Chain A
Amino acid sequence: MEFRQTQLDNGLTVVCEINPEAASMAMGFFVRTGSRDETPEVAGVSHFLEHMMFKGTDKRSAAEVNLAFDRLGAQYNASTSEENTIYYGAVLPEFQADLLDVLGDMMRPALRGGDFDMEKNVIIDEIARYEDMPSFKVFEKLMAVHFAGHPLANSVLGTTESITALRREQMQTYFDQQYSPGNVTLVGVGALDFDAFVAQAKRLCGSWRPFDVHRRRPPCRGSGATKVIADPKVVRQHVAMMSAAPPGDDEDRFAAQLAATVFGDVTGSRLYYALVDPALVDEAHCSYEAMDATGAFITTLSCDPERARQVVDVTLAEMAAFVKDGPTPGEMDAARNKLASIITVKGEVPMGRLVSVGLEWVYRRDYIPMGEQIDRLFGATLEQVRDVLARYDLRAVSTTALGPLETL
């Protein structure tokens, strides 16, 4: 396993973790942009743009982009979050150059008017798709409530209205600004030829024009507000809670991850025994989400509506007990072992490793080999977890509820 990194003259960074033993390779363009970088007039543009990137370039039509990927047998996709837009693919090593050729080309899209109008329909249908998924919707509303007044409150999908009103020129302006080479990292992992990778990246991306990109990164501890959204069409009561946690570039993130695992992993956690084991809920989960200059502990629950109050009370009581006493040594060991196994399994396939290596670079300009990641996890002490819990009060939650109930 070898790490190599370089930067093109225009600011685009290339980072690679090379593993000659792997049977495949994966690569991705990580663009440091998402809904948090949007103004209200262009709400949803990051995600809509992600779709438009597949719609062709000066060289290729939309159909030709799709064909180019499929001819390589690539597994490929893209994703947009509040903070990152990622275009990625995995192929057999012999197709490295072909995959970079299409991905690199795609990153300077034609954004044709006809495609733009057609794709609007697809985006609006995608918004409807999530409308039918309350477990997703309750989380989107929670982001809006917890981060009220902060850029992270912005919805990734936007609304039917904002997408309908969006013009092609607005998207072009957003693209020129945000897809500036200094805001983009090209990541490669697996069985890859680094020198060829960089040389080709220079040919494909070297002429991209840089722009100044600025991201607002105000600190945020969360509103602590509660919002209940009554929807008689929803059958279960979906509840989501969020509180502040260490930011993505903080060394405390390992302790935060352990804290979330002890408190709310899907098996064997505090929430599991308090809620799932007695079947008060069918789902209870707490995770730690590292973000740019902030972070969050996120707890999601789903239960019978009539039990919702009891479930929320039990959850808050568990939070209070956990903050007060911290984890036991046994819980710490279990959490470390579980996380080590998750990291190992994910890291054994290049596609899984790609995201770890890419986000590590985007958030921290750092590379951590998998073994060291596990070592750091094992190095985080019980005292550090207690310290994180003392500085980031798990009980200071913002809450949203979606379901039949008018009040919680």
Chain B
Amino acid sequence: MPEEFYREALPNGITLLGQRMEGVASAAMTFVARAGSAYDPAAMAGAATVASEWCLRGAGSRDTRALNDALDALGCQHHEGVQSEHIQFSCVQLGRNLAAVMRLYADILRRPTLADNTFDPCRDLIAQDLVGLEDEPARHCNILLRERFFPWPLGRNPYGQSEALQAMTAGALREHLRGHLSPGGAILAVAGEVDWNAFRDLAGGLLGDWKAPSGAPPKTTPGHTGTTHMTKDSAQTHIGLAHKAVPAGDDRYYAAHMAQMVLSGGMSSRLFSEVREKRGLAYHVSTRYYSLHDHAGFFTYAAAPPARAQETFDVTVGELVRLAEGITAEEMHRAVVQLKSALVMQGESTMARVNAMAADWYHTGRLRSLDEISRRIEQTRVEDVLAYLREFPAGDFTVLTLGPEALRTE
């Protein structure tokens, strides 16, 4: 049965997206607005993340506890997150509770209390998260890598910066939100056990007359690329490597995706075989693709005991570069089957669907059915992938290492 998507543009710039899924009882919902950490003013780094926490501390007529209790009573599992370009409010619950949850979210988005007395704890939590990255070197390495790779401030650490957090005030953050948390360009997507007409009418009624100015897109300067080593007395050397890729909205995206699968799609993939299976160098090595609207990269991460870190780095870079020399038909076939299977399995989860829809809309301005994506994957040939790799060769790496000693990275 072909998938059926629903779409409705509200006059204030919010796009409503929906998909009804059969055989599920849950409904997932996500709201993304263009107020991510890249929009944080320089002196207020971390603003978006503090705001994502603060918006849940009371909204409409409810204080923190009443709001929490109301969400809990509906079995609403919610998550607030901040990426470079977006602030995101996501939740999943039984479909029969979706309408009641939507009413609460209208308060959270439009009428957050943002009281002075709840600001300090929110800011302190984010400050603690920032410090806590020191105890999670793998994650820290990847955040720092992204920060250097993308044009500044697009890859900025969403937890901000210590002095900026300390100096941030409730008044300044309220002012910032007034100019940024807005319906312009926002997406509200639902998937699962959803009655679309009812949801569209409800969301339209609750959000349609919301007016607020949008923030100007951040001005960018080139990233701090090249090699950075941060000395840390850790048990492993953590290695992050990034190189340029085509953004997700580009037609060459499928070729990029196939290249990533051949590199890192499973235990038979190039990196896993060469680094872990054949040489026993490291437990973890992988390449992920990550895209902003206009910039994207392949992000490779490996961690190895310091004594084997140099060899791990050399073999990993060798494999990234070698990919352009050729891909076998068997590798392509595996990549196709893996991607298609992953698509079908993702199609079973309401949360995965809703995130895929929001991302699709943001990057391509349309919703692609699983059939369409599947067809495009099948149509991609080895020549397309190799042509892509000539255009976006593995090289000019941004490198970030974290560990006892620096590596030779030329």
Contacts and interface: CB of A to CB of B under 8 A. Distances in A.
Interface of A: 21-24, 54, 62-63, 65-67, 69-75, 90-92, 118-126, 128-129, 131-135, 233-236, 238, 267-268, 272-273, 276-279, 281-282, 302-304, 330, 333-335, 337-338, 340-342, 344-345, 348-351
B235 interface: yes
A338 B338 contact: no
A19 to B, nearest CB: 8
Interface stretch (B182-190, B339-347, B358-366): B339-347
A70 B75 contact: no
Interface in B235-290: 235-236, 238, 265-269, 272-273, 276-277, 279-284
B75 A348 contact: no
B349 to A, nearest CB: 5
Give 9 closest A-B pairs by Cβ, nearest first. A73-B341, A341-B75, A337-B75, A279-B121, A334-B72, A279-B124, A282-B128, A131-B235, A121-B280
A350 B280 contact: no
Nearest to A235: B134
A90 B341 CA distance: 9
A303 B128 contact: yes
A122 B280 contact: yes
B74 interface: yes
A407 B189 CA distance: 49
Contact of A125 (B93, B272, B282, B341): B282
B325 to A, nearest CB: 20
A63 B26 contact: no
Interface of B: 22-26, 64-65, 68-69, 71-78, 92-94, 120-122, 124-125, 128-129, 131-132, 134-138, 233-236, 238, 265-269, 272-273, 276-277, 279-284, 303-305, 308, 333-334, 337-342, 344-345, 347-351
A69 B345 contact: no
Given A123-B283, A268-B71, 4 more contacts: A23-B348, A125-B282, A282-B125, A334-B72
Nearest to B22: A21
Given A23-B345, A63-B273, A71-B334, A348 B26 contact: yes
Contacts, number: 193
B32 to A, nearest CB: 20
Given A67-B268, A122-B282, A341 B135 contact: no
Contacts of A75: 341-342, 345
Contacts of B341: 24, 72-75, 91-92
Given A73-B337, A279-B125, A303-B128, A338 B75 contact: yes
17 contacts: A21-B22, A23-B348, A63-B273, A70-B334, A122-B276, A122-B280, A129-B236, A132-B236, A238-B135, A279-B125, A281-B128, A330-B69, A330-B73, A334-B73, A341-B75, A341-B76, A342-B77
Contact of B338 (A70, A234, A236): A70
